[in-house]
Amino acid sequence: MNKNKLTIYFHGTNAKNAKKIMKEGFKKETWYADHLEDALYHGGNHIFWVAVKWIGRRTYTWQILASNAISKNRIVRYEIYKKPKVILENKKLFDKVFDFNTTCPDCKE
């Protein structure tokens, strides 16, 4: 991994926190995801695209905990997604796949 490469990470949250982020930026120890769908599923429907170099430590294969605060000037995009209507969900199968795919032997909890 090239830690000097500018990369886009995603952060999902709720409306109240999104307003705060737009004013103040991101606090130290904020969680980010490599993929939009992970930020949307685990964070909330207010999605920020943030352009930064390596920002912290990876805790799972899909999630990063930022070491430092990140300025609002690093926000590339802010989107609000409508909540999807779920027709069918096999939670047991989802959890099995998710647990298998988030195992990261090099990550620190």
- pLDDT tens profile 79-99: 999 977 888 889 899 888 877
Q: Are 82 and 49 in contact (CB under 8 A)?
A: no
Q: How does residue 104 score in pLDDT terms, banded at 50, 70 and 90?
A: low
Which CATH topology does 7-101 take?
A: ADP-ribosylation fold (3.20.170)
Structural domain spans, the chain: 7-101
Got the DSSP string for 41-89?
A: HHT-SEEEEEEES--EEEEETTEEEESS-B-GGGEEEEEEPPPP--S--
Q: What is the pLDDT of residues 33-76, one digit of tens each?
A: 999 999 998 899 999 999 988 766 776 677 888 888 999 999 99
